[in-house]
C-alpha cells in the first residue's frame, strides 16, 4: 500500500513543498487532489526556486508522472502559463496528466468570486479571487464544465450555454454587470487553450492505480490545509474543497486502504491569510518578527500573513480528522532569535479549560490561548542536520510539541534548501 498523503495541518502555507521535494526520490506519481491555483507551492530544487500554483510539484522530477486529479479545479489559461514557464526553464511538462473529470475554472468564475467578496463587504472571506468557490459551486449545481468537455466542441459550447444561462442572470440582475457571450468565450478558450491542454487530458485513475498495483509509490499532494477544509475548517472562512487526507480518496479516486502514510505538515508557529478565527494570533513585535524573519507573504497573492504561536489544540484535531501517522515540522529556524517560545496547550473558553477543538465555532471565537512558555534557544539552527546538534532548549521544544500533539514528529526543517532538515523521532 504505497500511498502517501501530504496534508497541511493549520491554515495553509506550512511549507508542504519542502517535504514533497524530500519524498520525491521514492515517488513514481505525484497527484494533486483538490483546490486549484489558489495554492502556491514554493520548491527549491538545487539552486533554483520554483513557484507552482496548479501543476503538481512532481513535474520538476524526470522520473515522476505529475497528475492533476479529478478533484482539482483547473484554469486552463493558468495551466498553459505555468507550462510555458516550466518549459522556458528547461522542465519538460510532457508527462503531465490532467484528469478529464476535473472541472474548469473559467473567467466568469473569477468575476463572480470578486463580486461575491465585494458584496460581503466587512464580512468578506478574503478569498484569493481565483474563482475557486464559484467553480466548485457550479460543480455541485451540475452546471460545471469538465476538462474532458474541451475535447468535444459541440458539448463544450452546449455546456457553456447552459452554465451561462444561469450565471448571466446573476451577473446582470444581481450584480448589474454585462452578460458573458458563451460563443465568444468558447472561441477564446478553444483557440487559446485546446492545443496546449488537450494532449494532457487523460485517465488519471488508471495512471494512479497502475502505479499502485505495481507497488510503486504515489504521493497525494494536498493544497491549502485542514482548517481551510470546507467541512472541517473554520467555516465560512475556508476554501471550497476538502484538503484533509480523506479528500485524496474522492479527489484522486483511491480507497482509504490505498493510503498508508499520512504526513501532516505543521509550521513551528501558525500563519493564516484571509479572515476567520485565530486564537493564538499575535499583534505585537513577536508577530511582526515572525512575518519578517519567516517572510510571511503569500506566494500567490503577496498578502501579508497573520502570525501566531503554535497551537497544539489545532494539531490534535488535525491528527484526528486526517488520521496522521506522523508530523513534519517546518520553519523551526524562524524561532531562532526569540528569548522565549510559547505553545498553546489548551483554550480558556468562558473560564473553562478546553483541550480539544470546540465543536461549536462560536466557542472558538471566544477562546483565549493557555500557553506553556519555554526558553528560546537563541542559536542559529540553519546548519543542523542531526538532532544531536540541537541546543537543549530546541530539543525540549520539539519533545513538548510531540507530546502535546500525540503523533511522532519525524522530520523538522531549518531552512528552504533541500539539505536543511533533520530526522527527529
Ligand atoms: P479561496 O480558496 O480562494 O476561495 O479562499 C478561501 C480562503 O482560503 C481564504 O481565506 C484564502 O486566503 C484561503 N486560502 C486559499 N488558498 C490558500 C493557500 O494556498 N494558502 C493559504 N490560504 C489559502
What is the three-class DSSP state of 384? coil
CA of 301 to the centre of ligand 1 (A): 10
Continuous segment of H or E residues that includes residue 45: strand 41-45
CA of 149 to the centre of ligand 1 (A): 27
Active site positions, annotated: 13, 41
pLDDT digits (tens, 9 = 90+) for 372-406: 999 999 999 999 999 999 999 999 999 999 999 99
Interior/surface letters 57-75, b for 16+ CB within 10 angstroms, e for the rest:
bbbbbeebbbbbbbbbbbb
The predicted pLDDT at position 183 comes to: 98
Q: Do residues 382 and 415 make contact, with C-beta atoms less than 8 angstroms apart?
A: yes
pLDDT digits (tens, 9 = 90+) for 265-296: 999 999 999 889 999 999 999 999 999 999 99
β-strands 73-74, 41-45 pairing: unpaired
Locate the ligand 1 atom nearest the alpha carbon of residue 40 and give its number.
19
Of the candidates 180, 189, 138, the one whose C-alpha atom is nearest the C-alpha of residue 161 is 180
DSSP class of residue 108? H
Mutate to test the pocket of ligand 1, among 273, 299, 302, 303 (most ligand atoms within 8 A of CB): 273
Phi and psi, residue 302, nearest 5° = 75, 5
pLDDT digits (tens, 9 = 90+) for 164-178: 999 999 999 999 999
CA of 44 to the centre of ligand 1 (A): 22
The predicted pLDDT at position 18 comes to: 85
Q: Reply yes or no on whether the pLDDT at 1 is more than 60.
A: no
pLDDT digits (tens, 9 = 90+) for 194-222: 999 999 999 999 999 999 999 999 999 99
β-strands 27-32, 48-52 pairing: unpaired
Q: What percent of the chain has pLDDT over 70?
A: 100
CA-to-CA separations, 345 to 5, 333, 348, 369, in angstroms, rounded: 26, 21, 10, 8
What is the three-class DSSP state of 265? strand
Q: Any long-range contacts for 387-391 (C-beta under 8 Å, 24+ apart)? A: 387/422, 387/423, 387/424, 389/422, 390/422
CA of 124 to the centre of ligand 1 (A): 12
Q: Do residues 27 and 262 make contact, with C-beta atoms less than 8 angstroms apart?
A: no
Locate the ligand 1 atom nearest the alpha carbon of residue 38 and give its number.
16
Q: Do residues 55 and 66 make contact, with C-beta atoms less than 8 angstroms apart?
A: yes
The predicted pLDDT at position 330 comes to: 96
Residues with CB under 6 A from ligand 1: 12-13, 38-40, 125-128, 130, 132-133, 223-224, 228, 237, 239-240, 273-274
Locate the ligand 1 atom nearest the alpha carbon of residue 35 and give its number.
2
Q: State the chain's mean pLDDT as an integer.
A: 96
Q: What percent of the chain has pLDDT over 90?
A: 90
Of the candidates 388, 280, 356, 376, the one whose C-alpha atom is nearest the C-alpha of residue 11 is 280
What end-to-end distance do the CA atoms of the chain give, in Å? 23
- Which residue is closest in CA terms to ligand 1's atom 8? 239
Q: Do residues 29 and 219 make contact, with C-beta atoms less than 8 angstroms apart?
A: yes
CA of 242 to the centre of ligand 1 (A): 12
Continuous segment of H or E residues that includes residue 310: strand 310-311
pLDDT digits (tens, 9 = 90+) for 26-55: 999 999 999 999 988 888 777 888 889 999
- Which residue is closest in CA terms to ligand 1's atom 16? 38
Locate the ligand 1 atom nearest the alpha carbon of residue 128 and give its number.
3
- Which residue is closest in CA terms to ligand 1's atom 5? 127
Bridge partner residues of 270 (DSSP) = 308
Mutate to test the pocket of ligand 1, among 239, 247, 330 (most ligand atoms within 8 A of CB): 239
What is the DSSP track for 21-85? HHHGGGEEEEEE-SB-TT--EEEEETTEEEEESSS-GGGGSTT-EEEE-TTBEE-HHHHHHHHHH
Most confident by average pLDDT, 19-23, 259-263, 297-301: 259-263
CA of 201 to the centre of ligand 1 (A): 26
Average pLDDT of the segment spanning 294-320: 93
The predicted pLDDT at position 81 comes to: 97
Mutate to test the pocket of ligand 1, among 13, 135, 224 (most ligand atoms within 8 A of CB): 224
pLDDT category of residue 24 using cuts at 50, 70 and 90: confident
pLDDT digits (tens, 9 = 90+) for 225-262: 999 999 999 999 999 999 999 999 999 999 999 999 99
pLDDT digits (tens, 9 = 90+) for 288-298: 999 999 999 98
CA of 38 to the centre of ligand 1 (A): 6
Locate the ligand 1 atom nearest the alpha carbon of residue 300 and give its number.
19
CA–CA gap between residue 311 and residue 411 (Å, rounded): 18
Amino acid at each position: 500500500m504505497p500511498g502517501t498523503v501530504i496534508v497541511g495541518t493549520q491554515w495553509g502555507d506550512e511549507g508542504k513543498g519542502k517535504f514533497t521535494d524530500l519524498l520525491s526520490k521514492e515517488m513514481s506519481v505525484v497527484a494533486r487532489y483538490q483546490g486549484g491555483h489558489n495554492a502556491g507551492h514554493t520548491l527549491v530544487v538545487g539552486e533554483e526556486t520554483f513557484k507552482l500554483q496548479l501543476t503538481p510539484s512532481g513535474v520538476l522530477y524526470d522520473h515522476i508522472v505529475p497528475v492533476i486529479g479529478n478533484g482539482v479545479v483547473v484554469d486552463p489559461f493558468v495551466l498553459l502559463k505555468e507550462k510555458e514557464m516550466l518549459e522556458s526553464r528547461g522542465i519538460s511538462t510532457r508527462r503531465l496528466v490532467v484528469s478529464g473529470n476535473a472541472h474548469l475554472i473559467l473567467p466568469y468564475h473569477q468575476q463572480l468570486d470578486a463580486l461575491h467578496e465585494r458584496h460581503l463587504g466587512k464580512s468578506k472571506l478574503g478569498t484569493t479571487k481565483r474563482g475557486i468557490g464559484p467553480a466548485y459551486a457550479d460543480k455541485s449545481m451540475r452546471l460545471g464544465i469538465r476538462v474532458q468537455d474541451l475535447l468535444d466542441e459541440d458539448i463544450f459550447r452546449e455546456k457553456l450555454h447552459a452554465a451561462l444561462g444561469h450565471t448571466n442572470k446573476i451577473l446582470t440582475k444581481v450584480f448589474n454587470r454585462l452578460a458573458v457571450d458563451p460563443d465568444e468565450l468558447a472561441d477564446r478558450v478553444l483557440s487559446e487553450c485546446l492545443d496546449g491542454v488537450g494532449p494532457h487530458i487523460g485517465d488519471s485513475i488508471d495512471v494512479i492505480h497502475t502505479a499502485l498495483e505495481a507497488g510503486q509509490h504515489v504521493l497525494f499532494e494536498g493544497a491549502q490545509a485542514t482548517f481551510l477544509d470546507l467541512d472541517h475548517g473554520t467555516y465560512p472562512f475556508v476554501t471550497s474543497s476538502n484538503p484533509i487526507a480523506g479528500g485524496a480518496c474522492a479527489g484522486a479516486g483511491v480507497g482509504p486502504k490505498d493510503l498508508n502514510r499520512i504526513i501532516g505538515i505543521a509550521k513551528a508557529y501558525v500563519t493564516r491569510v484571509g479572515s476567520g478565527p485565530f486564537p493564538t494570533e499575535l499583534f505585537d513585535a513577536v508577530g511582526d518578527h515572525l512575518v519578517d524573519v519567516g517572510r510571511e507573504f503569500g506566494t500567490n497573492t503577496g498578502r501579508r500573513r497573520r502570525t501566531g504561536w503554535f497551537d497544539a489544540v489545532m494539531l490534535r484535531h488535525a491528527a484526528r480528522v486526517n488520521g496522521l501517522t506522523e508530523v513534519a515540522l517546518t520553519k523551526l529556524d524562524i524561532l531562532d532569535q526569540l528569548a522565549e517560545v510559547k505553545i498553546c496547550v489548551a483554550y480558556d473558553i468562558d473560564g473553562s479549560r478546553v483541550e480539544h477543538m470546540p465543536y461549536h465555532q462560536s466557542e472558538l471565537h471566544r477562546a483565549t490561548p493557555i500557553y506553556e512558555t519555554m526558553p528560546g534557544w537563541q542559536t542559529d539552527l540553519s546548519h543542523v542536520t542531526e538532532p544531536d546538534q540541537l541546543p537543549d532548549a530546541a530539543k525540549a521544544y520539539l519533545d513538548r510539541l510531540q507530546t502535546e500533539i500525540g503523533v511522532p514528529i519525524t522530520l523538522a526543517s531549518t531552512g528552504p534548501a533541500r539539505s536543511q532538515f533533520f530526522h527527529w523521532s
